[in-house]
Amino acid sequence: MALESARLDQCPAEPQSRPGPTDHEDAGPDDLRDARRLSPRSEADIVTPGEAPDPTPLDDAPFGPYLTLESLHWAELARTRHMELDEAALDRIRAQGDPINLDAVRQVYLPLTELINLYIDHTTSLYRHSNWYLGLSERPTPFVIGVAGSVAVGKSTTARLLRELLRHGFPPRRVDLVTTDGFLMPNAELERLGLMNRKGFPESYDQAALLRFVMDVKSGQPPVTAPVYSHVTYDIVPGEELVVERPDVLILEGLNVPQPARPRANGRTGLAVDDFFDFSIYVDAPDDAVKEWFLERFRQFRLTAFTDPQSFFRRFATAPEEEAMALAEETWTTINGPNLQDNIKPTRGRATVVIVKVADHSVECVRIRRV
Protein backbone atom coordinates (compact mmCIF):
# COMPACT_ATOMS: atom_id res chain seq x y z
CA MET A 1 0.00 0.00 0.00
CA ALA A 2 2.01 2.93 -1.24
CA LEU A 3 1.42 6.19 0.50
CA GLU A 4 0.26 8.87 -1.87
CA SER A 5 0.86 12.58 -1.69
CA ALA A 6 -2.00 14.36 0.07
CA ARG A 7 -4.49 16.59 -1.67
CA LEU A 8 -3.53 20.22 -1.24
CA ASP A 9 -6.92 21.24 0.06
CA GLN A 10 -6.65 18.77 2.95
CA CYS A 11 -3.00 18.19 3.73
CA PRO A 12 -1.16 21.37 2.74
CA ALA A 13 2.29 21.39 1.21
CA GLU A 14 5.20 21.95 3.56
CA PRO A 15 8.60 23.65 3.36
CA GLN A 16 11.22 21.89 1.26
CA SER A 17 14.11 22.24 3.70
CA ARG A 18 14.58 19.96 6.67
CA PRO A 19 16.81 21.62 9.25
CA GLY A 20 17.42 20.21 12.69
CA PRO A 21 19.23 17.30 14.34
CA THR A 22 18.72 13.67 13.34
CA ASP A 23 19.40 12.26 16.81
CA HIS A 24 16.22 12.80 18.83
CA GLU A 25 18.09 12.55 22.13
CA ASP A 26 19.84 15.84 21.36
CA ALA A 27 16.81 17.63 20.02
CA GLY A 28 15.08 20.34 21.96
CA PRO A 29 11.49 21.51 21.35
CA ASP A 30 12.53 24.12 18.79
CA ASP A 31 14.69 21.62 16.93
CA LEU A 32 11.84 19.13 16.87
CA ARG A 33 9.48 21.66 15.36
CA ASP A 34 11.97 22.28 12.56
CA ALA A 35 12.83 18.62 12.06
CA ARG A 36 9.19 17.65 11.60
CA ARG A 37 8.71 20.10 8.72
CA LEU A 38 5.46 21.24 10.20
CA SER A 39 2.85 22.81 7.98
CA PRO A 40 2.01 26.48 8.54
CA ARG A 41 -1.66 25.52 8.57
CA SER A 42 -3.50 23.64 11.29
CA GLU A 43 -6.87 22.32 12.44
CA ALA A 44 -9.41 23.70 14.86
CA ASP A 45 -11.19 20.52 15.74
CA ILE A 46 -12.28 20.52 19.36
CA VAL A 47 -15.90 19.67 19.99
CA THR A 48 -17.58 18.10 22.94
CA PRO A 49 -19.86 15.04 23.04
CA GLY A 50 -23.35 15.96 21.95
CA GLU A 51 -22.22 18.62 19.50
CA ALA A 52 -22.66 18.03 15.79
CA PRO A 53 -19.29 16.95 14.31
CA ASP A 54 -17.57 19.33 11.93
CA PRO A 55 -18.86 18.38 8.44
CA THR A 56 -15.46 19.28 6.94
CA PRO A 57 -13.09 17.78 9.53
CA LEU A 58 -9.97 18.23 7.41
CA ASP A 59 -10.40 21.97 6.84
CA ASP A 60 -7.53 23.99 8.26
CA ALA A 61 -7.86 26.96 10.60
CA PRO A 62 -4.90 29.32 11.00
CA PHE A 63 -4.85 29.23 14.81
CA GLY A 64 -6.02 25.71 15.54
CA PRO A 65 -4.22 23.32 17.86
CA TYR A 66 -2.91 20.95 15.17
CA LEU A 67 -0.03 21.07 12.73
CA THR A 68 -0.26 18.99 9.56
CA LEU A 69 2.45 16.73 8.14
CA GLU A 70 1.90 15.54 4.58
CA SER A 71 2.40 11.77 4.28
CA LEU A 72 5.58 11.74 2.20
CA HIS A 73 7.35 14.11 4.58
CA TRP A 74 6.11 12.11 7.56
CA ALA A 75 7.51 8.93 6.02
CA GLU A 76 10.89 10.60 5.53
CA LEU A 77 11.32 11.12 9.28
CA ALA A 78 12.19 7.47 9.95
CA ARG A 79 13.64 6.56 6.55
CA THR A 80 17.01 5.53 8.00
CA ARG A 81 15.66 3.78 11.11
CA HIS A 82 15.91 0.00 11.39
CA MET A 83 12.58 -1.82 11.79
CA GLU A 84 12.31 -5.13 13.65
CA LEU A 85 9.19 -6.39 11.92
CA ASP A 86 8.76 -8.96 9.14
CA GLU A 87 5.83 -10.13 7.04
CA ALA A 88 5.04 -13.07 9.33
CA ALA A 89 4.78 -10.78 12.35
CA LEU A 90 2.62 -8.33 10.39
CA ASP A 91 0.26 -11.16 9.42
CA ARG A 92 -0.29 -11.87 13.11
CA ILE A 93 -0.87 -8.20 13.89
CA ARG A 94 -3.12 -6.89 11.13
CA ALA A 95 -6.85 -6.98 11.70
CA GLN A 96 -9.23 -8.83 9.39
CA GLY A 97 -9.52 -6.95 6.10
CA ASP A 98 -6.76 -4.44 6.83
CA PRO A 99 -4.49 -4.28 3.72
CA ILE A 100 -1.53 -2.70 5.52
CA ASN A 101 1.91 -3.86 4.34
CA LEU A 102 5.49 -3.40 5.54
CA ASP A 103 6.01 -0.29 3.41
CA ALA A 104 3.08 1.39 5.15
CA VAL A 105 4.39 0.32 8.56
CA ARG A 106 7.74 1.91 7.80
CA GLN A 107 6.22 5.06 6.33
CA VAL A 108 3.52 5.68 8.96
CA TYR A 109 3.99 3.72 12.16
CA LEU A 110 7.77 3.78 12.48
CA PRO A 111 7.84 7.62 12.55
CA LEU A 112 4.92 7.52 15.01
CA THR A 113 6.88 5.14 17.26
CA GLU A 114 9.88 7.47 17.14
CA LEU A 115 7.70 10.40 18.14
CA ILE A 116 6.26 8.41 21.05
CA ASN A 117 9.80 7.50 22.13
CA LEU A 118 10.56 11.21 22.26
CA TYR A 119 7.60 11.79 24.54
CA ILE A 120 8.62 8.85 26.74
CA ASP A 121 12.21 10.08 26.99
CA HIS A 122 11.20 13.60 27.95
CA THR A 123 8.54 12.40 30.40
CA THR A 124 11.12 10.15 32.08
CA SER A 125 13.59 13.03 32.23
CA LEU A 126 10.99 15.29 33.85
CA TYR A 127 10.21 12.57 36.39
CA ARG A 128 13.91 12.16 37.21
CA HIS A 129 14.44 15.90 37.64
CA SER A 130 11.31 16.21 39.76
CA ASN A 131 12.58 13.42 42.00
CA TRP A 132 15.90 15.23 42.39
CA TYR A 133 14.21 18.52 43.24
CA LEU A 134 11.80 16.95 45.74
CA GLY A 135 14.42 14.71 47.30
CA LEU A 136 12.56 11.54 46.34
CA SER A 137 13.54 8.25 44.71
CA GLU A 138 10.23 7.17 43.18
CA ARG A 139 10.42 5.02 40.06
CA PRO A 140 8.67 6.36 36.94
CA THR A 141 5.12 5.14 36.46
CA PRO A 142 3.97 3.56 33.19
CA PHE A 143 3.63 5.78 30.14
CA VAL A 144 -0.01 5.44 29.04
CA ILE A 145 -1.07 5.70 25.38
CA GLY A 146 -4.70 5.86 24.26
CA VAL A 147 -5.73 4.69 20.77
CA ALA A 148 -9.24 5.60 19.59
CA GLY A 149 -11.39 5.61 16.48
CA SER A 150 -14.45 4.04 14.91
CA VAL A 151 -15.26 0.40 14.47
CA ALA A 152 -13.32 -0.96 11.44
CA VAL A 153 -11.09 2.14 11.04
CA GLY A 154 -7.87 0.33 11.94
CA LYS A 155 -7.29 1.28 15.57
CA SER A 156 -6.64 -2.33 16.65
CA THR A 157 -3.94 -2.73 13.99
CA THR A 158 -2.46 0.61 15.05
CA ALA A 159 -2.35 -0.44 18.71
CA ARG A 160 -0.78 -3.84 17.97
CA LEU A 161 1.82 -2.30 15.66
CA LEU A 162 2.82 0.23 18.30
CA ARG A 163 3.18 -2.54 20.87
CA GLU A 164 5.43 -4.52 18.54
CA LEU A 165 7.56 -1.58 17.42
CA LEU A 166 8.00 -0.20 20.95
CA ARG A 167 8.92 -3.65 22.30
CA HIS A 168 11.60 -4.19 19.68
CA GLY A 169 12.78 -0.63 19.17
CA PHE A 170 15.69 1.22 20.68
CA PRO A 171 15.54 1.13 23.55
CA PRO A 172 13.30 -1.94 23.88
CA ARG A 173 10.41 -1.39 26.28
CA ARG A 174 8.01 -3.60 28.21
CA VAL A 175 4.64 -2.87 26.63
CA ASP A 176 1.18 -4.16 27.53
CA LEU A 177 -1.92 -3.71 25.37
CA VAL A 178 -5.41 -3.69 26.87
CA THR A 179 -8.64 -3.11 24.98
CA THR A 180 -11.65 -1.49 26.59
CA ASP A 181 -13.85 -4.36 25.30
CA GLY A 182 -13.08 -6.11 28.58
CA PHE A 183 -14.84 -3.31 30.43
CA LEU A 184 -18.12 -3.71 28.57
CA MET A 185 -20.89 -4.87 30.86
CA PRO A 186 -21.68 -8.58 30.47
CA ASN A 187 -24.46 -9.31 27.98
CA ALA A 188 -26.82 -10.39 30.77
CA GLU A 189 -26.44 -7.01 32.44
CA LEU A 190 -26.85 -5.15 29.15
CA GLU A 191 -30.03 -7.13 28.50
CA ARG A 192 -31.32 -6.29 31.98
CA LEU A 193 -30.67 -2.59 31.39
CA GLY A 194 -32.08 -2.64 27.85
CA LEU A 195 -28.68 -1.69 26.38
CA MET A 196 -27.83 -4.60 24.06
CA ASN A 197 -28.54 -2.38 21.06
CA ARG A 198 -26.29 0.28 22.61
CA LYS A 199 -23.26 -1.97 22.95
CA GLY A 200 -20.16 0.13 22.33
CA PHE A 201 -21.85 3.37 23.44
CA PRO A 202 -20.33 4.98 26.55
CA GLU A 203 -23.20 3.81 28.79
CA SER A 204 -22.52 0.15 27.92
CA TYR A 205 -19.16 0.17 29.74
CA ASP A 206 -18.35 -0.22 33.40
CA GLN A 207 -16.79 3.23 33.42
CA ALA A 208 -15.89 3.11 37.12
CA ALA A 209 -13.95 -0.14 36.68
CA LEU A 210 -12.16 1.18 33.58
CA LEU A 211 -11.18 4.41 35.34
CA ARG A 212 -9.99 2.50 38.41
CA PHE A 213 -7.89 0.19 36.21
CA VAL A 214 -6.12 3.07 34.45
CA MET A 215 -5.58 4.94 37.72
CA ASP A 216 -4.04 1.86 39.33
CA VAL A 217 -1.72 1.21 36.39
CA LYS A 218 -0.68 4.86 36.17
CA SER A 219 0.04 5.00 39.90
CA GLY A 220 2.45 2.06 39.55
CA GLN A 221 0.38 -0.43 41.53
CA PRO A 222 1.42 -4.06 40.91
CA PRO A 223 -0.33 -6.12 39.70
CA VAL A 224 -3.50 -4.74 38.10
CA THR A 225 -6.07 -6.96 36.40
CA ALA A 226 -8.56 -6.37 33.59
CA PRO A 227 -11.53 -8.50 32.46
CA VAL A 228 -11.22 -10.49 29.22
CA TYR A 229 -13.68 -10.15 26.33
CA SER A 230 -14.32 -12.82 23.69
CA HIS A 231 -15.11 -11.69 20.15
CA VAL A 232 -16.31 -15.23 19.48
CA THR A 233 -18.99 -15.35 22.17
CA TYR A 234 -19.44 -11.55 22.05
CA ASP A 235 -19.31 -11.43 25.84
CA ILE A 236 -17.07 -11.12 28.91
CA VAL A 237 -15.28 -14.40 29.69
CA PRO A 238 -16.22 -15.40 33.26
CA GLY A 239 -13.25 -15.99 35.55
CA GLU A 240 -10.57 -14.86 33.08
CA GLU A 241 -8.30 -11.88 33.76
CA LEU A 242 -5.50 -10.07 32.01
CA VAL A 243 -2.67 -9.20 34.40
CA VAL A 244 -0.74 -5.94 33.96
CA GLU A 245 2.32 -5.56 36.17
CA ARG A 246 4.23 -2.30 35.93
CA PRO A 247 4.97 -2.15 32.19
CA ASP A 248 7.08 0.66 30.77
CA VAL A 249 4.17 1.44 28.46
CA LEU A 250 0.47 0.65 28.59
CA ILE A 251 -1.54 0.99 25.37
CA LEU A 252 -5.28 1.32 25.97
CA GLU A 253 -7.32 0.82 22.80
CA GLY A 254 -11.03 1.43 22.42
CA LEU A 255 -13.85 3.36 20.81
CA ASN A 256 -14.30 6.00 23.46
CA VAL A 257 -11.04 6.19 25.42
CA PRO A 258 -10.63 10.01 24.99
CA GLN A 259 -14.18 10.61 26.26
CA PRO A 260 -14.31 13.53 28.73
CA ALA A 261 -15.87 13.02 32.13
CA ARG A 262 -19.62 13.56 32.18
CA PRO A 263 -21.16 15.89 34.75
CA ARG A 264 -22.57 14.15 37.80
CA ALA A 265 -26.08 14.68 39.15
CA ASN A 266 -24.71 17.31 41.55
CA GLY A 267 -23.20 19.24 38.63
CA ARG A 268 -19.62 18.35 39.43
CA THR A 269 -17.28 16.67 36.96
CA GLY A 270 -15.02 13.82 38.02
CA LEU A 271 -11.95 12.29 36.44
CA ALA A 272 -11.86 10.83 32.93
CA VAL A 273 -9.77 7.96 31.61
CA ASP A 274 -7.79 10.26 29.32
CA ASP A 275 -6.75 12.40 32.30
CA PHE A 276 -4.14 9.66 32.81
CA PHE A 277 -2.92 9.52 29.20
CA ASP A 278 0.57 10.70 28.34
CA PHE A 279 -0.10 10.40 24.61
CA SER A 280 -3.20 9.68 22.53
CA ILE A 281 -3.94 8.74 18.93
CA TYR A 282 -7.15 9.07 16.95
CA VAL A 283 -7.43 7.06 13.71
CA ASP A 284 -9.66 9.06 11.37
CA ALA A 285 -11.27 8.43 7.97
CA PRO A 286 -14.31 9.63 6.00
CA ASP A 287 -17.54 8.18 7.35
CA ASP A 288 -18.54 6.56 4.06
CA ALA A 289 -15.14 4.83 3.82
CA VAL A 290 -15.40 3.49 7.38
CA LYS A 291 -18.88 2.15 6.64
CA GLU A 292 -17.59 0.32 3.54
CA TRP A 293 -14.69 -1.14 5.56
CA PHE A 294 -17.15 -2.33 8.20
CA LEU A 295 -19.39 -4.01 5.61
CA GLU A 296 -16.44 -5.64 3.85
CA ARG A 297 -15.11 -6.94 7.16
CA PHE A 298 -18.56 -8.38 7.93
CA ARG A 299 -18.50 -10.20 4.58
CA GLN A 300 -15.12 -11.70 5.41
CA PHE A 301 -16.21 -12.68 8.92
CA ARG A 302 -19.11 -14.65 7.40
CA LEU A 303 -16.49 -16.91 5.80
CA THR A 304 -14.12 -17.03 8.77
CA ALA A 305 -14.88 -16.03 12.36
CA PHE A 306 -18.65 -16.48 12.12
CA THR A 307 -18.23 -20.16 11.10
CA ASP A 308 -16.95 -21.01 14.60
CA PRO A 309 -19.64 -23.12 16.31
CA GLN A 310 -19.23 -20.96 19.43
CA SER A 311 -19.65 -17.68 17.54
CA PHE A 312 -22.42 -15.37 18.71
CA PHE A 313 -22.96 -14.54 15.01
CA ARG A 314 -22.93 -18.17 13.79
CA ARG A 315 -26.35 -17.81 12.14
CA PHE A 316 -25.02 -15.18 9.74
CA ALA A 317 -22.43 -17.59 8.33
CA THR A 318 -25.21 -19.74 6.91
CA ALA A 319 -27.87 -17.10 6.26
CA PRO A 320 -28.36 -15.88 2.66
CA GLU A 321 -25.84 -13.16 1.89
CA GLU A 322 -28.53 -10.61 1.12
CA GLU A 323 -30.15 -11.18 4.52
CA ALA A 324 -26.84 -11.08 6.38
CA MET A 325 -25.66 -7.90 4.67
CA ALA A 326 -29.02 -6.23 5.31
CA LEU A 327 -28.41 -6.81 9.01
CA ALA A 328 -24.89 -5.39 8.69
CA GLU A 329 -26.33 -2.26 7.04
CA GLU A 330 -28.91 -1.95 9.81
CA THR A 331 -26.18 -2.37 12.46
CA TRP A 332 -24.23 0.48 10.94
CA THR A 333 -27.27 2.71 10.54
CA THR A 334 -28.67 2.19 14.03
CA ILE A 335 -25.58 1.51 16.18
CA ASN A 336 -22.09 2.06 14.74
CA GLY A 337 -22.87 5.12 12.65
CA PRO A 338 -24.70 7.05 15.40
CA ASN A 339 -22.04 6.07 17.95
CA LEU A 340 -19.34 7.42 15.63
CA GLN A 341 -21.17 10.71 15.11
CA ASP A 342 -22.36 11.30 18.67
CA ASN A 343 -19.59 9.87 20.85
CA ILE A 344 -16.43 8.86 18.98
CA LYS A 345 -15.71 11.56 16.43
CA PRO A 346 -16.31 14.43 18.90
CA THR A 347 -13.29 13.17 20.90
CA ARG A 348 -10.94 13.54 17.93
CA GLY A 349 -9.79 17.02 18.95
CA ARG A 350 -8.53 15.65 22.29
CA ALA A 351 -5.85 13.45 20.66
CA THR A 352 -2.13 14.16 20.55
CA VAL A 353 -1.94 12.74 17.02
CA VAL A 354 -4.65 12.27 14.38
CA ILE A 355 -3.90 9.75 11.62
CA VAL A 356 -5.98 10.68 8.57
CA LYS A 357 -6.83 7.84 6.19
CA VAL A 358 -8.60 7.84 2.83
CA ALA A 359 -10.84 5.29 1.10
CA ASP A 360 -8.03 2.92 0.02
CA HIS A 361 -6.76 2.72 3.64
CA SER A 362 -3.65 4.78 2.84
CA VAL A 363 -2.65 7.58 5.20
CA GLU A 364 -3.10 10.99 3.65
CA CYS A 365 -1.57 13.07 6.42
CA VAL A 366 -0.75 13.09 10.10
CA ARG A 367 -1.84 15.89 12.43
CA ILE A 368 0.09 16.61 15.60
CA ARG A 369 -1.03 18.73 18.48
CA ARG A 370 1.34 21.65 18.92
CA VAL A 371 4.13 20.86 21.39
Q: What is the mean pLDDT of each run of 10 residues along the chain (371 residues)?
A: 37 44 41 38 41 45 78 86 84 83 92 94 93 92 97 95 90 94 97 96 96 95 95 95 96 93 81 95 97 95 92 93 95 97 94 96 93 63
Confirm whether 336 is domain-assigned: yes
CB 171 within 8 Å of CB 163: no
pLDDT, position 84: 81
Q: Which amino acid is at 66?
A: Y
Q: Are strands 353-357 and 66-70 parallel, antiparallel or unpaired?
A: unpaired
pLDDT, position 212: 96
What is each CA distance from 153 to 12, 168, 241, in whole angstroms? 23, 25, 27
Confirm whether 87 is domain-assigned: yes
pLDDT, position 310: 92
Domain extent for 321 = 25-357
Confirm whether 98 is domain-assigned: yes
pLDDT, position 171: 80
Confirm whether 58 is domain-assigned: yes
The alpha-helical segments, DSSP class H, found in the chain are: 29-35, 71-76, 87-93, 102-104, 110-134, 155-167, 187-193, 207-218, 287-303, 315-318, 321-331, 337-339
- CATH classification at residue 268: 3.40.50.300
Confirm whether 84 is domain-assigned: yes
Backbone φ, ψ for residue 185 (5° rounding): -65, 145
Confirm whether 320 is domain-assigned: yes
CA angle 190, 155, 234 (to 5 degrees): 30
Query: What is the count of structural domains for the chain?
Result: 1
Is the model's pTM score more than 0.85?
no
CA distance 340 to 283: 12
Confirm whether 6 is domain-assigned: no
Confirm whether 35 is domain-assigned: yes
**What letter would DSSP give residue 68?**
E
